[in-house]
Amino acid sequence: MRTFLALSALLLLLVATSVAANGYGGNSASPGAGDGYGGGDAPAAADGYGGRDDASSGPKGNGGGDGGEGGVYHKAAYEKPVDGLDAGFYRKSCPDMEGIVQRAVRKAVDADYTLAASLIRLFFHDFAVEGTDASILIDVPGQSEKYAEASKTLRGFELIEEIKAELEAKCHATVSCADILTAAARDAATAAGVPYWPLKYGRRDGKDSVAGEADRRVPMGGQSVTDLVRFFESNGLTIMDLVVLSGAHTIGCASCGAVRPALCKLKGGAAAMERRYADFLRRKCGAGGEGEYVELDGETPTEFDNQYYKNLMRGRGVLDTDMKLLPDSRTEGLVRAFANQPSQVFEHQFAQSMRKLGEAQVLTGNEGEVRRKCSAVNY
């Protein structure tokens, strides 16, 4: 009990710190109005980092320097460049970049809300192989990551390509596919209800994409918690990020093919899935059930909330890897804390961890390239 209380306090502290660092402005779970989401405006203007035209130039002369008009302008912590990334990277070269991405994602998610989950997952799968470099988008049949077994049910490729075409028309050879994917995942998450978080840009696109690498690296449900911890830590993330980002499974669906391993284990008595829920999943996915999908959060499948953790506490996790987070001593306390804290605690922390996901191991400067089309490397 004492450990749990300590963890809860730690979580609240972390969230308070992250809210301050991110400039979220209080603990509002819906910063939409302030961030320009209502009218589909470019968020840059409303975020406070678009309006200031700095004197010095940032990487590749794209703006985003530190100088302000008439006096010293100290950037807020979240605006400072990290590993070659900068909030003002496209300020001069493509000022409406964020607006273009945001409007396209909003329109697509309004037409089909399931796309929000798919874009978040696409972003994660891209990250999983050598960081966010848009390698998942390269389309070489049978060979690139897109054709891996782990990528079979990924969606959202066409939307990213459409956004890229619009950006090429307006700012030729400027905005990388990796930055587009990062912004699209953020906008998909906020459309689903996650608090807005500001992004830094300047990622470059990778030139390599190998299906086998995706199958080797992307966690798909058969891993142990040790495997997952190792995967996250080797990519610069923490156990907290693992537990928080797994909470993405509060929306979206899993194919029966992904659910079956947990059900098989159940027969052996390995997992503690609630009986009635297991019966439901078996009916849906047991024999055959190819092409069938189940919601990852059976209780509130379309709400981005902390129900995922509550489900784990009741033995209602869908994937084997999700179910393993509760009984493991490294992750149990966090699962319990997120389940018992107000949902906003999880939601704010999710925004933090997504930001980290998009900043880990990225290509910047002269590395990689800026693709002309997201589906193909440049000639």
Q: List residues binding ligand HEM (CB under 6 A).
A: 117-118, 120-121, 124, 153, 155, 219-221, 228, 242, 245-246, 248-249, 251-255, 258, 296, 319, 321
The verdict on whether residue 131 carries a ligand-binding annotation is yes
d(CA 320, CA 291): 19
Smaller CB separation from ligand HEM, 99 or 261: 261
Q: Which two tokens stand for residue 102?
A: 């945001």
The verdict on whether residue 219 carries a ligand-binding annotation is yes
The verdict on whether residue 133 carries a ligand-binding annotation is yes
The verdict on whether residue 348 carries a ligand-binding annotation is no
Structural contact between residues 10 and 339, judged by C-beta atoms closer than 8 angstroms: no
- Nearest approach, Cβ of 258 to ligand HEM (angstroms)? 3
Handedness of CA 264, 265, 269, 274 (dihedral sign): negative
Q: Which residue is nearest to ligand HEM (CB)?
A: 252
The string over 64-78, giving b where at least 16 C-beta atoms fall within 10 Å of a residue's C-beta and e elsewhere, is bbbeeeeeeeebeeb
- Nearest approach, Cβ of 220 to ligand HEM (angstroms)? 5
Smaller CB separation from ligand HEM, 100 or 335: 335
- Nearest approach, Cβ of 257 to ligand HEM (angstroms)? 6
Q: Which of 74, 125, 172, 348 is catalytic?
A: 125
- Nearest approach, Cβ of 151 to ligand HEM (angstroms)? 10
d(CA 182, CA 180): 5
Smaller CB separation from ligand HEM, 57 or 300: 300
The verdict on whether residue 297 carries a ligand-binding annotation is yes
- Nearest approach, Cβ of 230 to ligand HEM (angstroms)? 12
Smaller CB separation from ligand HEM, 190 or 321: 321
The verdict on whether residue 53 carries a ligand-binding annotation is no
The answer to whether residue 125 is catalytic is yes
- Nearest approach, Cβ of 33 to ligand HEM (angstroms)? 26
The verdict on whether residue 126 carries a ligand-binding annotation is yes
d(CA 117, CA 253): 8
Smaller CB separation from ligand HEM, 114 or 340: 114
Smaller CB separation from ligand HEM, 49 or 338: 338
Pick out the residues of the known binding site for substrate.
Answer: 219
Residues noted as catalytic: 125
Pick out the residues of the known binding site for heme b.
Answer: 249
Pick out the residues of the known binding site for Ca(2+).
Answer: 126, 129, 131, 133, 135, 145, 250, 297, 300, 305
Pick out the residues of the known binding site.
Answer: 126, 129, 131, 133, 135, 145, 219, 249-250, 297, 300, 305
